[in-house]
Amino acid sequence: MGGDHAPHEIVAGAVAYARQSGHTVVLVGREDLVRAELARHDTSGLDLPVVHAPETIQMDEKPAMAARRKKDNSMAVGMRLVRQGEADAFCTMGHTGGALTAGHMVFRRIPGVHRAVLTTPFPCVTGFFILGDIGANPDCRPEWLAQWGQMLSIYARVRLQVAEPRVALLSNGEEEGKGTELTRAAEPLLKEALGGRYIGVVEPKEMIAGAADVVVTDGFTGNVVIKLAEAVASFFLQTMREEIMARPLAKIGAALARPAFRATAARLDDREYGAALLLGLNGLVTVGHGRSKQDRVVAALRNTAHLVAGRMLDRLHDEITRTVRLSHAGGGDHEHEL
Amino acid sequence: MGGDHAPHEIVAGAVAYARQSGHTVVLVGREDLVRAELARHDTSGLDLPVVHAPETIQMDEKPAMAARRKKDNSMAVGMRLVRQGEADAFCTMGHTGGALTAGHMVFRRIPGVHRAVLTTPFPCVTGFFILGDIGANPDCRPEWLAQWGQMLSIYARVRLQVAEPRVALLSNGEEEGKGTELTRAAEPLLKEALGGRYIGVVEPKEMIAGAADVVVTDGFTGNVVIKLAEAVASFFLQTMREEIMARPLAKIGAALARPAFRATAARLDDREYGAALLLGLNGLVTVGHGRSKQDRVVAALRNTAHLVAGRMLDRLHDEITRTVRLSHAGGGDHEHEL
């Protein structure tokens, strides 16, 4: 029921993904609406059970309040299926704030996790890096950032297939007077938690150049980063389109160059990275873009299934438990094992 | 002596600007080096006095320490000329941190100003908006942000020729749970200081769409914004170039579309906005990009002269003094007058 194009595009994406993968996709929402959408597709041979949820969190509602008031909203119902072992992960194109609140209510945090972190792969010159927090925690404490460095490393291993992820802290420079109280306090903690895999602070330029596999930041800055990158790219494209359309010869040229433009867009498009992950709860929750149409829904489901196959949650649970246990035992340089 | 291409490109820019404007450009630095560069140009009829400064702040030095230790660094010597009334403004392509420290040491803050703010015009869909702080104050207090809203409004009037600038606060959304403690505390203060000209928070997308004439943020976020925008635009261009070069037909098309590409680059280029302004001191200090070559130096000098002609500093001084005086007198809704 979530996102700008629900349930039409969500159901279409679920059907397409079920066809590609052979996986079961449980559709949660207003049963009548979902079944009406399903009826528009050929679903023969597909496993697409529908679970009714009488309520939805609207994009214009205050998410935390709505998630608390509407106990049987579609997100909470979907997450409870995961908690009960009837599904492996929950994926939504709905309200991020609603997913955060419902996620915390239904799953609770993994013991030892300070705060769940919202994270996404982000495109850079060398491919992708893992960026978090991207909006779950606008105000942060330094020890949260350090722990996210560990948690996001595990994600980078599963998602980017990097054995020893290089972790960096986003800042505005290394020099004296740069950074904030938060980043300066987080630096030694990241060093302690990650040892040689912590490569120090990166500026946006280095981050986009691909200097790190994991970039840690507070949820305010991280959210500004993903939204600004999208806005700047759109602005760039729009400006170029205007300038091309104003010139007849350039229009012909642009037509010839179109395959190159398309390839550029594909490399920078967030479609391929599909969904953000809420990491640190006792359940896998992914949140796709609210504007998602069918192809993005498919990508989001594919990425989510990839995390399930990679035993993401078990690995996270093991690592966190081990770190916390060792930490409580005062054990030596355990942090370097992560 | 500042920036990556000093003194060669700096002197070339100064000569070109003096020729265009008829203004006097005082060159401050190692006299032998500066005179050697000047000798390479036709300077007949131009007023380009050289003032010797024996020391320079290097880009790899800790700026605050270097500015304190080297009393006669070229930035401090140049600023002292302004303080003594021998020049109207100081412009550098050198180290921003060094300029901040030297600026505070030589000029001190205008009485009533909480903190000087570093600001720049920033390109958006509708032209430009004024963004600050972009790096002078990574950790901020809410009342600083509110005062910057007032100060940057005056800058917007002079620089953008907007009579009633719309002021916004950069945030990651308006909804519950969005923003930080800082932005939530700054909101009512901005409203109080600016009345109806405060239009609320903007997300990056709205900011780039041109929703506000002035966007206020902390110096950490602001610095990340300008650096990320530059990095994303470069990444975009580089990716497009690669995809075009990989396709023979696209190469021909791109050649035909080149004027459109050039026009796009010109609209997004920071060359035109030239220099950042350090606002709130008893003297005008502008800081251009460290990578500036001749044309950017000319733009930086042109913008600086524009601020002098607009009596920027006098207007700021008047407004700040009036606000502070009225505020001390407990006077009504004086804030709305700004």
CA distance B140 to chain A (A): 9
Is residue B111 exposed (0-12), middle (13-18) or buried (19+ Cβ within 10 Å)? exposed
d(CA B22, CA B18): 5
User: Which residue type occupies A71?
Assistant: K
Select from B276, B308, B297 the least CA-distant residue to B17. B297
Contact partners, residue B27, CB within 8 Å, separation at least 6: B10, B11, B14, B34, B38, B48, B49, B50, B51
* CATH 3.40.718.10 residue ranges for chain B: 1-113+280-338, 115-272
With the CA atoms of A231, A274, A46 and A39 taken in that order, what torsion angle do they form, in degrees rounded to the nearest 10?
Answer: -10
Q: Is pLDDT of B338 > 60? A: no
d(CA A113, CA B172): 24
Q: List A residues 116-155 in contact with B (Cβ-Cβ < 8 A).
A: 124-125, 135, 138-139
Q: Is B257 within 8 Å of A257 (Cβ atoms)?
A: yes
CB pairs under 8 A between A and B: 210
- Tens of pLDDT, residue by residue over B52-83, are 998 887 767 777 777 778 888 999 999 999 99
Q: Is pLDDT of B325 > 70? A: no
d(CA B197, CA B194): 5
CA distance A296 to chain B (A): 21
Question: Does A230 sit within 8 Å of B229, measured CB to CB?
Answer: no
- Cα–Cα distances in angstroms (integers) from residue B191 to residues B30, B141, B200, in the given order: 48, 16, 8
User: Which of A63, A220, A228 has the CB atom closest to B180's CB atom?
Assistant: A220
Q: What's the DSSP call for residue A94?
A: S
Block residue for tokens 């104050």 = B137
Q: List A residues 254-313 in contact with B (Cβ-Cβ < 8 A).
A: 254-261, 263-264, 267-268
Half-sphere exposure in the Cβ direction for B91 (13 Å, CA): 30
Candidates B141, B174, B208, partner chain A, best to mutate (most A CBs within 10 A) = B208
Q: Architecture of domain A1-113+280-338 in CATH?
A: 3-Layer(aba) Sandwich (3.40)
Average pLDDT per consecutive 10 residues, chain A (338 residues; last block may be shorter): 86 96 96 95 95 84 77 92 96 88 92 93 92 94 96 92 96 83 96 95 96 97 94 88 89 88 77 79 91 88 92 88 64 37
- Tens of pLDDT, residue by residue over B173-224, are 877 668 999 999 999 999 999 999 999 999 999 999 999 999 999 999 999 9
Q: Is B11 within 8 Å of B37 (Cβ atoms)?
A: yes
Q: List A residues 164-183 in contact with B (Cβ-Cβ < 8 A).
A: 170-173, 175-181, 183
Question: Does A260 sit within 8 Å of B246, measured CB to CB?
Answer: yes
Q: Tell me if residue A300 falls in helix, strand or coil.
A: helix
What pLDDT, on a 0 to 100 scale, did the predictor assign at position A177?
67
Q: What's the DSSP call for residue B92?
A: E
Omega prior to A123 cis, within 30 of 0: no
The model's confidence at residue B146, banded by pLDDT at 50, 70 and 90, is very high
- Tens of pLDDT, residue by residue over B250-290, are 888 888 888 888 888 877 766 556 689 999 999 999 998 88
What pLDDT, on a 0 to 100 scale, did the predictor assign at position B63?
73
The model's confidence at residue B40, banded by pLDDT at 50, 70 and 90, is very high
CA distance B229 to chain A (A): 6
Question: Does A228 sit within 8 Å of B233, measured CB to CB?
Answer: no
Token digits for A322?
């081990």
Block residue for tokens 């969904």 = A275
Is residue A44 exposed (0-12), middle (13-18) or buried (19+ Cβ within 10 Å)? exposed
Q: Is A153 within 8 Å of A145 (Cβ atoms)?
A: no
Contact partners, residue B137, CB within 8 Å, separation at least 6: B115, B117, B118, B144, B218, B219
d(CA A197, CA A204): 19
Block residue for tokens 């509110």 = B146
d(CA A108, CA A62): 20
Q: Is pLDDT of B333 > 90? A: no
What pLDDT, on a 0 to 100 scale, did the predictor assign at position A289?
82
The model's confidence at residue B320, banded by pLDDT at 50, 70 and 90, is confident
Question: Does B225 sit within 8 Å of A229, measured CB to CB?
Answer: no
What pLDDT, on a 0 to 100 scale, did the predictor assign at position A83?
96
ipTM of the modeled complex: 0.89
User: Which of A204, A250, A253 has the CB atom closest to B227's CB atom?
Assistant: A204
Fold designation for B115-272: Isopropylmalate Dehydrogenase (3.40.718)
d(CA B315, CA B152): 12
* CATH 3.40.718.10 residue ranges for chain A: 1-113+280-338, 134-270
d(CA A110, CA A314): 11
Q: Is pLDDT of B121 > 60? A: yes
CA B331 to chain centroid: 33
Q: What's the DSSP call for residue B58?
A: -
What pLDDT, on a 0 to 100 scale, did the predictor assign at position A3?
79
- Cα–Cα distances in angstroms (integers) from residue B93 to residues A307, A310, B54, B83, B242, in the given order: 48, 50, 18, 20, 32
What pLDDT, on a 0 to 100 scale, did the predictor assign at position A71?
84
Of residues A72 and B26, which shows the higher confidence score?
B26
Q: Is A208 within 8 Å of A168 (Cβ atoms)?
A: no
Q: What is the mean pLDDT of residues B25-51?
A: 95
Q: CB of B59 within 8 Å of any CB in chain A?
A: no
- Against a cut of 0.95, is the pTM above it? no
Helix, strand, coil share of chain A (percent; to 5): 55, 15, 35
Question: Does B62 sit within 8 Å of A176, measured CB to CB?
Answer: yes
Least confident of B39-43, B212-216, B312-316, B319-323: B319-323
Select from B51, B135, B131, B53 the least CA-distant residue to B100. B135
Class of domain A134-270: alpha beta
Q: Is A297 within 8 Å of A10 (Cβ atoms)?
A: yes
Q: Tell me if residue B28 falls in helix, strand or coil.
A: strand
What pLDDT, on a 0 to 100 scale, did the predictor assign at position A68?
79
- Degrees (nearest 5) of the Cα angle B305, B308, B310? 110
User: Which chain B residue has its CA at the smallest distance from A256's CA?
Assistant: B253
d(CA B130, CA B296): 19
CA distance A270 to chain B (A): 14
Token digits for A50?
């529908």
Select from A98, A11, A7 the least CA-distant residue to A58. A98
Question: Does B254 sit within 8 Å of A260, measured CB to CB?
Answer: yes
| Orientation of helix A219-245 relative to helix A248-268, angle to 10° | 160
Q: CB of B223 within 8 Å of any CB in chain A?
A: yes
Question: Does B268 sit within 8 Å of A236, measured CB to CB?
Answer: yes
- Degrees (nearest 5) of the Cα angle B198, B202, B205? 145
What pLDDT, on a 0 to 100 scale, did the predictor assign at position A55?
84
